[in-house]
């Protein structure tokens, strides 16, 4: 208390907090606490609501729905295996493409290949990709991308049709254009977090590598990449999480075809696209089934995101 | 920290924008037409034109029509959300039992369903026999250069593309008309476990899209695609349409003329409920896939004002509206059918 009084009397600029400051501080803390918890509650509420609507379907169809392949409203048979397959397949394809380019971009932008100012500009442009609406990606895919990749697809289909991945011709909407657009959509996520991972490498390690006489590429591939591997892996998992839940662009590009095909040119379907297509006029039973599908999608995405967060945490990258 | 602040600003911006949009959209939603209908997309272009023309010739009340597909139209009609429904299947008897105030089917116009396709490099119209197009939609014929298709189209150079069928994802009267036709022309359809339905689990390499316009657009963007779609929509989208083999064994070009021929050859006497299908029309020059499309009116329990409105509008459609049908590629009702339909409308109370 004596100290407090002496502070009050002192002539320095540091002053004790006034009652107003204390109140503002307290109010702010309460407010943030409420907001933080309301996010947790919101998630719980969403799960409760969706799960609640899904219960009739879970009771009636159970886990059989996860392995069924027909979706027939008249026969009341519902299976979402083709959609689960399509979701995972498109996301993995997108991850391979987007991951490769994302990590390459991260290397290019962090390893002094470019002047600092150019690096900043390029980085902003790549981050801008994340701001483009999904439906614009979808339209771009239909009107620009598909005509461009059609000759490529035709070439692979004509010459390599014995490989199951190229066994059908590309009609238009299909797995490959969808995965390609998806890979562009996850690119900003992957590139940004990978860049953080490369930046987090202590300068000493780089110096040590060069000190031992490595060339630039040896340093990047043998030293930097393994050191940043944890963070890059986390970036990939977060990108995968984003790809799994993407809806609009996929609903427009994937072809909405209820089949399981290895061919990347065949039309397919994803869980999110199934929900988007069938919700507008679903009957009671179908809504329950769709909610079940939504739960499955939520669960897959949640697991992937948690895994990503865990990896980033363990490897100690500061975002 | 900087990034977080930026994100926060962005969120605030987005939410304020959303809020503004919802404020702006809200008053529009509350404004309702005096007479509201919903249903089939199949005859929608004609219905919208009727509504416009009717409003000009007899002002006094506004009419709205939501193009949501036959299935949803029936659902909204049964739930009492609209004053009239519209469906290409009328209603099944079980569905009709669910109507609290009864239902009067009124055939409003007729139309043809065509098989539209996208085959680059094929200029000659494609000819498809009855067996072949059943097998295409069953997923049995998988390639465009299948010998059975080549045999029917010797002058065309068919590409080695996979066949992708384009079908309706929503509950649709067009699907019903087409599957009812397939069921009638081939036992294979039934043997494969399929029947006539508004919504189907299509076999093979089938894409599913919402609405007639959606199917037409999907075909336009997909090489090697073939799908069933209403004639006018296919025509306006600029799609090629296949010549189909009819019951008499002739290949018929889809057109209003061949549709009118089919209707003239098969219209006969309408049953009392005015519901009649032509799954496989007879006649040399009849186009094989044709259907009436119906307005669904509640039989009783209308307020006198709403009753008068509905009667006035529907009677106008059946009398003066018919002359617009051809312009929109539909088939005007034969006189006998139109008279019977107008009598039925007057029964509505």
**Residue B296: pLDDT above 60?**
yes
Show residues of chain B in contact with A158, CB under 8 Å: 160
Summarize the confidence of residues B73-91 as an average pLDDT.
Answer: 88
Task: Write down the pLDDT at residue A6.
Answer: 59
The CATH classification of domain A81-279+300-315, taken from the options 3.40.1400.10, 2.130.10.10, 2.60.40.10, 1.10.3720.10: 1.10.3720.10
- pLDDT value, residue A8: 60
pLDDT digits (tens, 9 = 90+) for A114-146: 888 999 999 999 989 989 999 999 999 999 999
pLDDT at position A278: 86
Domain count, chain B: 2
Are A169 and B209 a contacting pair at CB < 8 A? no
* Predicted confidence (pLDDT) at residue B24 exceeds the cutoff of 50: no
Residue B229 pairs in a beta bridge with B114
Distance from CA of B215 to the nearest CA of A (A): 11
- Inter-chain residue contact B222 with A72, CB threshold 8 Å: no
Same domain, residue pair B56 and B155: no
User: Residue B6 above 60 pLDDT?
Assistant: no
Domain with residue B64: its CATH number is: 3.40.190.10
Packing angle between helix B335-347 and helix B304-319, nearest 10 degrees? 180
* Number of cross-chain residue pairs from A and B with Cβ atoms under 8 Å apart: 81
The per-residue pLDDT for A60 is 86
Q: Is residue B13 part of a domain?
A: no
Instruction: Mutate one of B201, B215, B216 to test the A interface: name it (highest A CB count within 10 A).
Output: B201
pLDDT value of position A318: 47
**Exposure of B41 by Cβ count < 10 A (0-12 exposed, 13-18 middle, 19+ buried)?**
buried
Pick from A70, A170, A277: which is nearest to B210 by CB? A277
Kindly report, residue by residue over A15-33, the tens digit of the pLDDT.
788 888 899 999 999 999 9
pLDDT mean over B243-267: 88
User: Domain check: are B73 and B219 in the same one?
Assistant: no
Which residue did the predictor score with more confidence, B8 or B272? B272
**Domain that residue B66 falls in:** 35-110+288-345
Q: What is the residue extent of each domain of chain A?
A: 81-279+300-315
pLDDT value of position A181:
94
The yes-or-no verdict on residue A87 having pLDDT over 90 is yes
CA distance A15 to chain B (A): 26
CB B213 within 8 A of CB B67: no
Q: Which residues of A touch B202 (CB under 8 A)?
A: 258
Q: Is the pLDDT of residue B90 over 60?
A: yes
Confidence class for position A89, pLDDT limits 50, 70, 90: very high
- B125 lies in the same domain as B244: yes
Considering only alpha carbons, which residue of chain A is nearest residue B210?
A: A277
- With residue B166 as reference, give the H or E element that holds it: strand B164-168
Query: For residue A319, what pLDDT band results from cuts at 50, 70 and 90?
Result: very low
Q: Are residues B302 and B314 in the same domain?
A: yes
- What's residue B309's pLDDT? 84
- Quick check: is B222 in a domain? yes
Mean pLDDT of A231-238: 89
pLDDT value of residue B30: 39
Structure confidence at residue B28 (pLDDT): 41
Q: What are the start-end ranges of the H helices in B166-298?
A: 173-185, 187-191, 212-221, 231-237, 256-266
Mutate to test the interface with B, among A123, A146, A257 (most CBs of B within 10 A): A257
Span A45-70, average pLDDT: 88
Question: Which are the contacts of A57, defined by CB distance < 8 A and separation ≥ 6?
Answer: A65, A78, A285, A288, A289, A291, A292
Q: Is B167 a member of any domain?
A: yes
Q: What is the mean pLDDT of residues B232-236?
A: 91
Q: How far is B223 from chain A, CA to nearest CA, in Å?
A: 5
Is pLDDT above 80 for B189? yes
Looking at the domain assignment, is residue B64 inside a domain?
yes
Q: Which residues pair with B165 in a beta bridge?
A: B206, B226
B245 with B159, same domain: the answer is: yes
Tell me the average pLDDT across B84-111.
86
Q: Taking a C-beta distance cutoff of 8 angstroms, is the pair A176, A253 a contact?
A: no
Q: State the pLDDT at residue B4.
A: 53
Minimal Cα distance from B120: which residue of A? Answer: A171
Mutation target to probe the A interface, by most A beta carbons within 10 A, among B221, B227, B239 is B221
Q: For B187-208, what is the mean pLDDT? A: 87
Per-residue pLDDT of A95-106, as tens digits, reads: 999 999 999 999
Nearest by CB to residue A256, choosing from B71, B162, B169, is B169
CB-nearest partner of A277 from B72, B169, B224 = B169
- Most A CBs within 10 Å, among B158, B162, B203, to test the A interface: B162
**In terms of domains, do B100 and B117 share one?**
no
Do B244 and B306 lie in one domain? The reply is no
B127/B88 same-domain check? no
pLDDT value at A282 more than 80: no
User: Based on the number of CB atoms within 10 Å of its own CB, is A19 exposed (0-12), middle (13-18) or buried (19 or more)?
Assistant: exposed
Determine the residue among A255, A259, A265, A270 to mutate to test chain B binding: the one whose Cβ has the most chain B Cβ atoms within 10 Å.
A255
Please determine, for residue B300, whether its predicted confidence score (pLDDT) is greater than 90.
Answer: no
CA–chain centroid gap for A61, Å, is: 30
Q: Is B160 touching A (CB cutoff 8 A)? A: yes
- DSSP state letter for A1: -
Confidence category of residue B225, pLDDT binned at 50, 70, 90: very high
ipTM: 0.79
B181 and B305 within one domain: no
Alpha helices in chain B (DSSP H): 2-30, 44-57, 70-78, 93-97, 130-138, 147-152, 173-185, 187-191, 212-221, 231-237, 256-266, 304-319, 335-347
Cβ-defined contact of A267 to B161 (cutoff 8 Å): no
Element (DSSP H or E) covering residue A19:
helix A19-61
Q: Is B228 found in the same domain as B195?
A: yes
Whether residues B197 and B298 fall in one domain: no
CB contact under 8 A, A172 and B223: yes
Among the residue ranges A64-78, A249-263, B15-29, B112-126, the one predicted with the least confidence is: B15-29
> Chain A partners of B223 at a C-beta cutoff of 8 Å?
150, 169-172
Chain A interface residues facing chain B, Cβ-Cβ under 8 Å? 70-75, 77, 142, 146, 150, 158, 168-173, 255-259, 266-267, 277-278, 280-281, 283
At residue A245, the pLDDT reads: 87
Region A141-154 average pLDDT: 91
- B243 and B103 fall within a common domain: no
For residue range B40-74, what is the model confidence (pLDDT) as tens digits?
888 998 999 999 888 888 777 888 998 888 888 88
How far are the Cα atoms of A226, A229, B47, B74, B290 from residue B299, in angstroms, in the given order? 76, 72, 21, 15, 27
Query: Which chain B residues are closer than 8 Å to A77 by Cβ?
Result: 201
Q: Which pLDDT band, with edges at 50, 70 and 90, does B270 fall under?
A: confident
Q: Which of A4-13, B235-244, B287-296 has the lowest mean pLDDT?
A: A4-13
Average pLDDT, chain B: 84
């Amino acid at each position: 208390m004596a100290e407090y009084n002496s502070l009050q009397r002192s002539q320095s600029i540091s002053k004790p907090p006034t009652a107003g400051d204390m109140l503002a501080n307290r109010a702010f803390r309460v407010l943030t606490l409420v907001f933080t918890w309301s996010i947790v509650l919101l998630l719980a509420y969403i799960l409760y609501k969706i799960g609640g609507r899904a219960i009739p379907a879970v009771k009636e169809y159970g886990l059989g729905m996860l392995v069924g392949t027909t979706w027939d409203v008249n026969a009341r048979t519902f299976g979402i295996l083709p959609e689960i397959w399509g979701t995972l397949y498109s996301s993995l394809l997108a991850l391979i493409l987007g991951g490769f380019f994302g990590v390459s971009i991260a290397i290019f932008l962090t390893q002094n290949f470019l002047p600092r100012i150019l690096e900043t500009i390029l980085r902003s442009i790549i981050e801008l990709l994340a701001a483009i609406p999904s439906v614009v990606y979808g339209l771009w895919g239909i009107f620009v991308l598909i005509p461009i990749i059609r000759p490529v697809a035709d070439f692979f289909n004509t010459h390599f049709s014995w490989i199951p991945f190229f066994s059908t011709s590309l009609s238009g909407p299909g797995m490959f254009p969808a995965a390609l657009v998806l890979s562009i959509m996850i690119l900003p996520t992957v590139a940004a977090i990978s860049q953080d991972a490369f930046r987090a490498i202590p300068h000493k390690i780089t110096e040590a590598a060069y000190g031992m006489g490595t060339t630039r590429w040896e340093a990047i591939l043998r030293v930097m990449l393994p050191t940043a591997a944890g963070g890059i892996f986390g970036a990939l998992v977060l990108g995968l999480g984003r790809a799994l839940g993407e809806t609009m662009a996929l609903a427009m590009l994937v072809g909405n075809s209820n089949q399981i095909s290895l061919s990347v040119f065949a039309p397919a379907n994803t869980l999110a696209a199934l929900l988007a297509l069938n919700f507008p006029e679903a009957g009671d039973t179908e809504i329950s089934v769709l909610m079940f599908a939504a739960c499955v999608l939520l669960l897959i995405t949640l697991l992937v995101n948690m895994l990503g967060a865990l990896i980033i945490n363990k490897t100690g990258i500061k975002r | 920290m900087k990034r977080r602040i930026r994100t926060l600003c962005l969120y605030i911006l987005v939410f304020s924008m959303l809020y503004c949009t919802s404020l702006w959209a809200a008053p529009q939603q509350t404004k309702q037409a005096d007479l509201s209908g919903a249903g089939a997309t199949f005859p929608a272009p004609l219905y919208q034109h009727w509504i416009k023309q009717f409003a000009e010739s007899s002002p006094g009340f506004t009419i709205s029509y939501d193009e949501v597909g036959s299935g949803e139209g029936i659902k909204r009609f049964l739930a009492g959300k609209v004053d009239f429904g519209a469906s290409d299947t009328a209603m099944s008897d079980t569905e009709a039992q669910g109507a609290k105030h009864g239902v009067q089917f009124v055939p409003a116009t007729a139309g043809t369903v065509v098989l539209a396709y996208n085959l680059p490099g094929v200029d000659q119209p494609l000819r498809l026999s009855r067996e072949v197009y059943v097998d295409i939609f069953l997923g049995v014929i998988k390639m465009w250069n299948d010998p059975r298709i080549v045999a029917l189209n010797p002058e065309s150079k068919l590409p080695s593309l996979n066949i992708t069928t384009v079908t309706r994802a929503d509950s649709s009267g067009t699907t019903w008309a087409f599957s009812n036709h397939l069921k009638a022309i081939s036992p294979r359809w039934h043997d494969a476990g399929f029947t006539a339905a508004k919504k189907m689990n299509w076999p093979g390499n089938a894409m599913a899209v919402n609405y007639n316009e959606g199917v037409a657009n999907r075909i336009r963007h997909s090489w090697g695609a073939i799908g069933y779609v209403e004639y006018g929509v296919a025509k306006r989208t600029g799609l090629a349409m296949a010549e189909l083999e009819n019951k008499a064994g002739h290949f018929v070009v889809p057109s209003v003329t061949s549709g009118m021929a089919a209707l003239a050859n098969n219209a006969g006497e309408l049953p009392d409920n005015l519901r009649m299908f032509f799954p496989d029309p007879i006649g040399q020059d009849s186009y094989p896939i044709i259907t009436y499309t119906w307005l669904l009116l509640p039989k009783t329990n209308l307020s006198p004002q709403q009753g008068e409105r509905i009667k006035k509008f529907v009677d106008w459609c059946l009398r003066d509206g018919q002359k617009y049908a051809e312009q929109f590629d539909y088939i005007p009702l034969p006189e006998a059918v139109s008279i019977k339909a107008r009598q039925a409308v007057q029964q509505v109370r």
